[in-house]
Amino acid sequence: MGLDRRGFVKIVMGGVAGTLFTPVIWQGLDDTSIWSQNWGWIPRLNKGEVKATSALSKLCPAGCAVKVKTVGGLPFAVVGNKDNTMSKGGVCPVCAGGAQLMYSPARVKSPMKKVGEGKYEAIKWEDAEALLLEKLTPLKGQEGKIAAISGDETGTANEVLSALLAGLGSSAFYVMPGEMFTAGKGVKLMGGSGQPGFDIEGADLVLMVGADALDSWGTTVANQKAFAAARPTGKEAAAQYVYAGPILNNTASVCDKFVPVPPTATAAFCLALANALINAGAVSSASDFAEYKALAAKFTAEEFEKTTGLKPEVLADLVARFKAAKAPLVIAGASFGQGAGALDFVAAASLNVLLGRVGQKGGMTLLPAAPKAIATATDRENAKDAASFLASVATGKATPGVLLIYEANPAFALPQPAEMAKAMGNIAFKVSFSTYMDETAALADLILPAPHPYERYDDAMNPYGVAKPTYLAGKPVVAKPVMDCKDPMDVLLAAAGKLGLSLGAETYADAVKAKAKAVGADFDALAAGGAWTGEPKSGSLNLGAAALAKAPSAKLDDKTVAFAPVTKLAYGTANLATPPANTLVVRDTELLGKDLFVQMNAATAKKLGVANGAKVKLTAGSGEVKALVHVNEGVAAGTAAMLLGFGHSAWDEYTKGKGDNIYKILTVSDEAGTGLKVWAGSTVTVAKI
Amino acid sequence: MSHGAQKEFKVTWGMVIDLDKCTGCGACMTACQVENNIAPMLDASNKMRTLSWMLVFEMSNKKAAPEAEIAYLPRPCMQCGNPACVPVCPVVATEKNEEGGIVSQIYPRCIGCRYCMAACPYHARYFNWEDPIFPKGMEKALSPNTSARPRGVVEKCNFCHTRLMKAKDKARQEGGNPEALADGAYMPACSEVCPTGAITFGDLKNPEHKVYELAKSEHAFRLLEKLGLAPQVYYMSKREWVRKLGDNYAAAGKAGAEKKHS
C-alpha cells in the first residue's frame, strides 16, 4: 500500500491534533521549565518550627530591643518588639539585617595569631588565652603599660575592662569618640553634671541642631517612634520638627523646616538664634544671663548672614515657631555623631536653658550616674578619649606594652587613620576582640573572635539621648555561636582570675546580672524584652557663657569649603561596615562602583569651578580622597558633604575598596578653652583632577 | 484577564504610604531583602542589575537651598487593579485572580522574556541576571517564606504572600474567618519593620482597616494615576509638590484628584 499525498497530510494533521490532545508535550514543557530552574546550587530553604525570641541587638550604637525570628533554631529575620518601651516595635536598618550578619564573610572564625606582616594563623583558644596572660603578667602594676580602647558606649563590658586595668595598676582606659563623650564635657561647662537627655516625646517643637535624630543620632528608633506618634498618619501633627545642619539629610527630609547651616557655623547659628530670642523677650534666671546676652548680642542678623549664608528672615521664622510652641526642645549634636567640640554642644544646649526647658516635660534632662556593677570600674563621666591617647602614643608620651581593643576600629574610624594605625605600630602587643575582621583586627598581634549580639549576653545603660535613665539587657538567641568565639569579657575575667584579681564576676553573664541588680531591674524581665526606666535627676545648668566666649569661627578662602561628613545608619556604623543586606540601600548618587560622591550645591560647585559628575580631589592635612561631584541643592552654602564609613581596606568583598575613607581628610584641632580634640568643623580644599 | 478590564475582589490588600513620615532610612528595603531571600550583590551600585522588590526613591522639589526639599518614596509592586504586566505574559506566569488582588509571579512558569518588565510603568519587576549566590554559610539565614529564584526569571514584590497564607491559616485554626482578617493580622515585612510607621497596610475595602479611610484622604494619591492601572498602593503627602511629582498628570490640575481616563 503506497502513501499518497492525501494519506500523508492526514497523518501529519492527525499527529498535530494528537499532540494537542496528549498531555505529554505540555507536561514535558512544564517539567522542563521546572527542572531547568532546579539546580543544585540554588539554595534550599530551612525547615522547622518558627519562633521569635527577644534580644538586645547591639549592632547599632543605641541598640534595638527586637525579636529574632528563628526557623529550626536558626535566626533568619529581625522584627520589632512592641512591648519594649524604648524600641516600641521599631527596628533600625542595621538590626533589620542582623541575622544575616551572623554569617558575614567578614566574621573572624577562630582565634588568630600574627605570624608575619598581614599573615595570621589560627590557634586554639587555650593557646590564645595563655599568650594573652603571658603578655599581661609582666606589665602588672605598671601605670599606663596596659591600655584599652572601647567602642561600646553603653555596656557593662566597659566596667569589666576599666576595673581589670585598675586592678592591674593602669588607668589607661579610653573610649572611641561619640556624642556621649562630648556632651558630658559640655554639661560640665554649663555648671552641671551627668549625661544630658532629650525628651522628644513630650516636646511640641523639636529643633535639631546638627543632630541627625531621626536617622543616626542617639536612640534612633525611639526618636523615630516619638516623631511618628506626634505625626499620626492622616491626622494633624502634634509637634513641629526643624533641622538645622549642613545637609538635607534623612532627618531633614521629614521636617517642617530645614535650615542649611554650614558645619563651621553651628555655634554662630545658635548664638544668633539666642540673640533673636532675647530680642523677642526671652530671659533666663541663669547666673550668667547678662554675660550670655552680651555675647549673643554680637551675633546680629548681619553676622548671622555672614557666617551661615542665610537670610535674617530664617531667624524670624524660627523665633515665631518658638514663640508659638508650648514645649520647645533643642537637641545639640554633631551631624555625624562625633567630633564636635563641647562648645557646639553648649551653644545649642544653652537655648534650652534660655527657654527654661531644662528638667521640664518635653525638655532637656540630666541623668544621674548609673550604679556600677563593679565598684573599681571607671566612672563614665571620667572617660578619656582614644584619639588623644593614640596621639600621645605617636609622640612617645604614652608607651603602653599591651593594648586591648574592644568593639572599636580606631585604625579606620578616627581622623587621620593612617597616623592612628602608625601610632598603634608603636605598641608591642595589640589584642583585638572583634566579631569582624576590621582594619584594627588586621593590625593586631592577637585576634580573639567575639560573639555576634545574638550569641552573647550584653546590656545597654543609658543609650545616648534617652530622656530618663534606661537600661536594657539581653541573652543569647542561639545555643551555640556560629564561629569558634568566646565572649571577650569571659576571656578577660578568666585572665583576671589567673592574675590574682577578683572583679566580683566569673563570667560576663554574671556581670550583666549584677548590673541589673545594682540598677534595681529584673534581669529575666529585661532578657524577655522589657526595659527598665528611672527618673532623671533635678539640677540646673547655666548658659555656659564663659566657655562660649571662646567659640571659634572658621575662615574660608576661595578654594576651601567647610566639610560635612554624613552618616546614614543603614550604611553601617563606626564599628560596622555596610552589612551585605544593606548595600542595596546605598544610592547610585552616593556610591557608583568604587567611586564615592561629594555633594555640594550649585553655587559651591560654581565657586570651585567643578561640574556635576566631575572627578575631584579633596585634601586636608596630609590626607586626600578622590570623589565624583554630585550637585545637590540640599547642601549648605560653601559646604562639601560626603558619606562616612566607606573605603574599607578590610571587611568583605561587599565593602572592601568601595569608596574612600573620609576620615583621612578630617583634621583634628584642639578646641579653644576646652582642649578637646575636635574635627566636626574641618575644612577641605577641592581641586579638579 | 483582558486588557482594560478591572477585576473586582471582595478583599483588596493595599498600602497607604505616608511620605511625610518616610525618612528614607532603608529598613523596609533591608527587611524585604531578608524576607524574600534576595542575595547580596557584589556591586549593588549597578542599579540595572540589582533586585529591589522594595525601592526607596528620592524626590526633590528642584529648588535651590534654602527652599530645597526632598521626600522619599518607597515603591513596592503596586498590585495594580488593572495590571499592565499580566496580559503581556506569554506563559501566564503572572496573574491577578486571587481574592485580595495580589498580582502573582509564578517563577517555574516564567521564561524570562521580560515583556512584563517592559510593560510595568513602575519598574517594579526585576530580572535575575545571576543565580542567587549567598556568601558561604549565609544560606543558613534564609527565610523559610520565599523560595530562592534561579537566574533567568523575573521576580517582584508580592506583598509577602506567604504571610497572607499564614495569617489565613492562623485565622482558620483560631476559628476566625480567613477571608475577613482583622487589621494588622497580615502585614508585609516592609510595613512591619518601618520604624516611623509610614507604611499602613490592610484591606482597602474593609471599613475596619485603617487604610480604608486613609486612601480616601484629600492628601492621598496614586502613582501615574493617568495610566488607569488602578494601583492598590496609595501615597499621601501634605506637600503639594510631592503629590504633583507622584502623579505628573496632576501637575496641571488639582493633585490627587480623581482622573478621567480616555
Residue A56 lies in a domain: no
Q: Is A304 helix (H, G, I), strand (E, B) or coil?
A: helix
Check CB contact under 8 Å for A99 and B23. Answer: no
pLDDT of B250 strictly over 80: no
pLDDT band for position A30 (50/70/90)? confident
A398 and A490 share one domain: yes
Amino acid A126 reads: E
Residue B5 lies in a domain: no
Distances, alpha carbon A257 to alpha carbons A110, A233, A253, A330, B67, in Å:
50, 19, 9, 14, 9
Check CB contact under 8 Å for B137 and A103. Answer: yes
Residue B6 lies in a domain: no
A168 and A277 share one domain: no
Tally of CB atoms within 10 A around A14: 10
Domain stops at, among A367, A393, A420 = A367
For chain A, how many residues are written?
Answer: 689
A514 and A399 share one domain: yes
A197 and A331 share one domain: yes
Predicted pLDDT of residue A167? 96
CATH code: domain of residue A270: 3.40.228.10
Residue A41 lies in a domain: no
Which residue segment(s) compose the domain that B39 sits in? 13-252
Predicted pLDDT of residue A655? 95
Across the interface, which of A78, A93, A102 has its CB nearest the CB of B26?
A93
Largest Cα–Cα separation, chain A: 123
A407 and A345 share one domain: no
pLDDT above 90 covers a percentage of chain B that reads: 85
CATH code: domain of residue B153: 3.30.70.20
Domain count, chain B: 1
Predicted pLDDT of residue A264? 86
Shortest Cα distance from B138 to chain A (angstroms)? Answer: 5
Task: Find chain B residues with C-beta within 8 A of A583's C-beta.
Answer: 40-41, 44
pLDDT band for position B260 (50/70/90)? very low
pLDDT band for position A14 (50/70/90)? very high
For residues B248 and A115, the model is more confident at A115
Residue A82 lies in a domain: no
How much is the average pLDDT of A315-319?
96
Which residue, chain included where needed, has cell 534576595?
Answer: B38
Residue A542 lies in a domain: no
Cβ neighbours for A381, distance < 8 A, ≥ 6 positions apart? A184, A193, A194, A369
Cell of A71: 526557623
Residue A285 lies in a domain: yes
pLDDT above 70 covers a percentage of chain A that reads: 99
pLDDT band for position B182 (50/70/90)? very high
On average, the pLDDT of chain A sits at 93
Residue B197 lies in a domain: yes
Residue B259 lies in a domain: no
Domain count, chain A: 4
For residues A433 and A31, the answer to whether their CB atoms sit within 8 Å is: no
For chain B, how many residues are written?
Answer: 262
Burial class (CB in 10 A: 0-12, 13-18, 19+), B92: exposed
User: CA-to-CA distance for A670 and A663, rounded, in angstroms?
Assistant: 17
Check CB contact under 8 Å for B25 and A93. Answer: yes
CA atoms within 13 A on the CB side of B10: 5
CATH code: domain of residue A618: 2.40.40.20
pLDDT of B259 strictly over 50: no
A321 and A194 share one domain: yes
Shortest Cα distance from A244 to chain B (angstroms)? Answer: 11
Residue B102 lies in a domain: yes
pLDDT tens for residues A180-230? Answer: 888 998 999 999 999 999 999 999 999 999 999 999 999 999 999 999 999
Across the interface, which of A45, A80, A580 has its CB nearest the CB of B40?
A580
pLDDT band for position B256 (50/70/90)? very low
Check CB contact under 8 Å for B144 and A76. Answer: yes
Alpha-carbon dihedral sign for residues A496, A499, A503, A507: positive
Task: Find chain A residues with C-beta within 8 A of B38's C-beta.
Answer: 584
Residue B25 lies in a domain: yes
A349 and A209 share one domain: yes
Predicted pLDDT of residue A380? 81
Predicted pLDDT of residue A552? 67
pLDDT tens for residues B116-156? Answer: 999 999 999 999 999 999 999 999 999 999 999 999 999 99
Residue A92 lies in a domain: no
Which residue segment(s) compose the domain that A490 sits in? 112-178+369-520
pLDDT band for position A556 (50/70/90)? low
For residues A195 and A183, the answer to whether their CB atoms sit within 8 Å is: yes
Shortest Cα distance from B118 to chain A (angstroms)? Answer: 22
* Pairing mode of beta strands A470-474, A458-461: antiparallel
Distances, alpha carbon A617 to alpha carbons A423, A614, A627, in Å:
26, 10, 6
pLDDT tens for residues A69-91? Answer: 999 999 999 999 999 999 999 99
Residue B257 lies in a domain: no
pLDDT tens for residues A601-656? Answer: 999 999 999 999 999 999 998 899 999 999 999 999 899 999 999 999 999 999 99
pLDDT tens for residues A414-459? Answer: 998 988 889 999 999 999 999 999 999 999 999 999 999 999 999 9
User: CA-to-CA distance for B253 and B191, rounded, in angstroms?
Assistant: 31
B252 part of contact set with chain A, CB < 8 Å? no
Whether the ω angle into residue B144 lies within 30 degrees of 0, i.e. cis, is no
pLDDT above 90 covers a percentage of chain A that reads: 83
pTM here?
A: 0.94
pLDDT of A388 strictly over 60: yes
User: CA-to-CA distance for A606 and A600, rounded, in angstroms?
Assistant: 10
A217 and A345 share one domain: yes
The lowest-confidence range among A155-164, A329-338, A494-503, A514-523 is: A329-338
**Nearest to B191, CA basis, from B63, B39, B21, B68:** B21
pLDDT of B258 strictly over 60: no
pLDDT of B257 strictly over 60: no
A163 and A127 share one domain: yes
pLDDT of A32 strictly over 90: no
Predicted pLDDT of residue B255? 47
Helices (H) and strands (E) in chain B, counts: 7, 8
A332 and A459 share one domain: no
pLDDT of A237 strictly over 70: yes
Bridge partners of B17, per DSSP, are B199, B235
Residue B262 lies in a domain: no
pLDDT band for position B2 (50/70/90)? very low
How much is the average pLDDT of A520-526?
97
Nearest CA in chain B to A483: B137
B48 part of contact set with chain A, CB < 8 Å? no
H-type helices in A528-624, by residue range?
Answer: 545-548, 602-608
Residue A675 lies in a domain: yes
pLDDT of B262 strictly over 60: no
Shortest Cα distance from B262 to chain A (angstroms)? Answer: 31
Domain stops at, among A480, A502, A520 = A520
How much is the average pLDDT of A463-471?
96
Check CB contact under 8 Å for B141 and A45. Answer: no
Predicted pLDDT of residue A624? 94
On average, the pLDDT of chain B sits at 92
Task: Find chain B residues with C-beta within 8 A of A259's C-beta.
Answer: 66
pLDDT of B38 strictly over 50: yes
Predicted pLDDT of residue B254? 52
A153 and A294 share one domain: no
Residue A107 lies in a domain: no
Shortest Cα distance from B155 to chain A (angstroms)? Answer: 14
A595 and A629 share one domain: yes
ipTM, 2 decimals?
Answer: 0.93
